[in-house]
Amino acid sequence: MKFFKNKAGRAEELRIPRHIAIIMDGNGRWAKKRGLPRTAGHAAGAETFRKIATRCKNLGLEYLTVYAFSTENWKRPPEEVAAIMTLLEKYLLEAIEKMEKEGIRLFIMGDMAPLSPRLRELAELTAEISKKLEGFQVNLCLNYGGRDEIVRAVRKYAQDYKSGLVGGLDEEGFGRYLYSAGIPDPDLIIRPSGELRLSNFLIWQSAYSELYFTDVLWPDFSEAELDRAIEAYSRRERRFGGT
């Protein structure tokens, strides 16, 4: 248990999750409600991500995983996809400047092959910087899909098995073929925007995660809302299938 002062100013003893994952949803609806282009919603959502990541670090979390761009998001209008990619490039550039100073590691989860050479270059650079750091880690799910991740893992295992590099398979062994190898499963998954589903996010890793849903759209998701999610998590009893 850890003490922290929530945004209402109360000092509470709460069970702080080791790993929180967030589906950053609602950017487009946020913009539409204000008569703005969807790209404005993504820009506002990016600012929210920065604030929430800082709050997670200050609370003592070890890992924050966010769903930034899914394998299905390519179906969106080309101008919207281009805007998202521009924001991602901007974020990675900022991260490269601040990672060492702020002690934040950054890890990309997803298939980078379809992305631009520039984004792949920046992702590789953040990975190199992260190797030199310890502490809080942000996992950015980029061109990521939970089912796609599992299929890729199965193919990699099959190749290694055929080559005689591995034998029988169990859950722990399979986990080593996932993008998240070496990263603990999320304790808490947060879904803003009122949707009540995981949307192909961390399908394998979420088996025993606690889920928290809120109607707040992602650009309006505040530090206080994060605190409420952690308060709700802290009140739950996690049995992992036991009695």
Q: Does domain 16-146+185-235 have CATH number 3.40.1180.10?
A: yes
Residue 7: per-residue pLDDT: 56
Residue 9: per-residue pLDDT: 58
The region of weakest confidence among 6-15, 31-40, 160-169 is 6-15
Residue 71: per-residue pLDDT: 96
The domains of the chain are located at: 16-146+185-235
The pLDDT confidence band at residue 13, using thresholds 50, 70 and 90, is confident
pLDDT tens-digit readout, 156-200: 999 999 999 999 999 999 999 999 999 999 999 999 999 999 999
Residue 243 in this model has a pLDDT that exceeds 70: no
**CA-wise closest residue to 180 among 219, 141, 216:** 141
pLDDT tens-digit readout, 120-140: 999 999 999 999 999 999 999
Residue 1: per-residue pLDDT: 42
Q: Is 226 helix (H, G, I), strand (E, B) or coil?
A: helix
Residue 241: per-residue pLDDT: 77
3-state helix, strand, coil in the chain (%, to 5): 45, 15, 40
Residue 240: per-residue pLDDT: 81
Q: Determine the Cα–Cα distance for residues 46 and 147; give it in Å rounded to an integer.
A: 26
What positions carry a catalytic annotation?
25, 73
pLDDT tens-digit readout, 140-154: 999 999 999 999 999
Residue 155 in this model has a pLDDT that exceeds 60: yes
Q: Is 128 helix (H, G, I), strand (E, B) or coil?
A: helix
pLDDT tens-digit readout, 57-68: 999 999 999 999
pTM over 0.85: yes
Percent of the chain with pLDDT strictly greater than 70: 94
